[in-house]
Structure 1
Amino acid sequence: MEESAKIDHVIETLLSEIRKHGILEVSMEQYQVVCNGILKFATRKAVEVYSDALMNEFTRTAERRCDEGDICPEYLRFQKRVVRMLKSLISTGYVDFSADNSRKKYKISDETAHLVVDILNENKLVGEAKVEMNIV
């Protein structure tokens, strides 16, 4: 995807890719809320085209709002995830669904990790459900 793409088209593509990934509908609503916030931010700035500068400014504004107590740290982290996903879509043409850092509570060996993947595959988990089950 080109960096000169219109922001509304980029967000529409992102939301489509998120649905294809298997994100639950209740989570889709959260992604939609953040994406709508990005669109409103771009409209206030009179910007129609995606840019890293716009995303960086959006992130700084969200960080300031968190510092001021307007939003909680968890929501800030989610907003940053959406921005990171948008940036990956623009730079590679694909949405990066990986976590920014590992949320796993316990460190396991590579051998055990393969066993976990086999169990998740055997139970036919896909998308976000598979990711959520694989974070323990």
Structure 2
Amino acid sequence: MEESAKIDHVIETLLSEIRKHGILEVSMEQYQVVCNGILKFATRKAVEVYSDALMNEFTRTAERRCDEGDICPEYLRFQKRVVRMLKSLISTGYVDFSADNSRKKYKISDETAHLVVDILNENKLVGEAKVEMNIVMRHFFFYAQYHKIS
């Protein structure tokens, strides 16, 4: 996707990709709220085209609102997640659903993590099934690495 794309089209594409990913409807509403906030922000700035500068300004505004107690830190974190997802869509053409900080219990090498992602994608798993299988596979590879099984 090009950085010269209209912001409403980029957001529409993002929401479509989130739905395809298997996000629950209640969570979709949260994504929609944040995306609507980004659209309103762009409208107030009289901007129709996506830019990293717009996303950075939106993020700074959200951080200021959090500092002032207008929004909670969890909501700020979620807004930043949506911005990261938009940026990945623009830069790669794909939405990066990974978390900013890895809180995974079973830490594996980057090479093995890529293998897990490839396996999950090859089997076309989505949503909760993908999350659950990711955990099982990471646990397996963590155990194998820990016990130096190759």
TM tier, smaller: 0.7 to 0.9
Unaligned ranges ≥5, structure 1 = none
Instruction: Return 99-108 or 35-44, whichever deviates more.
Output: 99-108
Query: How far did residue 103 of structure 1 move?
Result: 2.0
Matched residues in 2 for 1:115 and 1:4: separation?
33
Maintained 8 Å contact 1:24/1:128: no
Tell me the alpha carbon deviations over residues 45-69 of structure 1, each in whole angstroms, 9 at most, x when there is no partner: 0000000000000000000000000
Query: How far did residue 107 of structure 1 move?
Result: 4.9
Maintained 8 Å contact 1:6/1:50: yes
Matched residues in 2 for 1:87 and 1:111: separation?
24
Maintained 8 Å contact 1:23/1:129: no
Query: How far did residue 130 of structure 1 move?
Result: 3.6
Q: Give 1 or 2 for the bigger CA radius of gyration.
A: 2
Root mean square deviation, CA, Å:
3.4
Matched residues in 2 for 1:77 and 1:9: separation?
23
Query: How far did residue 104 of structure 1 move?
Result: 2.4
Unaligned ranges ≥5, structure 2 = 137-150
CA spacing shift, 1:9–1:72, aligned 2, 3 Å: same
2:106 aligned with 1:134: no
Task: Say which structure, 1 or 2, has more relative contact order (CA 8 Å, 6+ apart).
Answer: 1
Tell me the alpha carbon deviations over residues 41-96 of structure 1, each in whole angstroms, 9 at most, x when there is no partner: 00000000000000000000000000000111010000000000000000000000
Matched residues in 1 for 2:94 and 2:4: separation?
16
Q: State the identity as a percent.
A: 100
Query: How far did residue 12 of structure 1 move?
Result: 0.1
Query: How far did residue 128 of structure 1 move?
Result: 4.7
CA spacing shift, 1:62–1:129, aligned 2, 3 Å: farther
Matched residues in 2 for 1:117 and 1:13: separation?
22
**TM-score, length of structure 1 as denominator length:** 0.82
CA spacing shift, 1:97–1:118, aligned 2, 3 Å: closer
Instruction: Return 122-131 or 32-41, whichever deviates more.
Output: 122-131
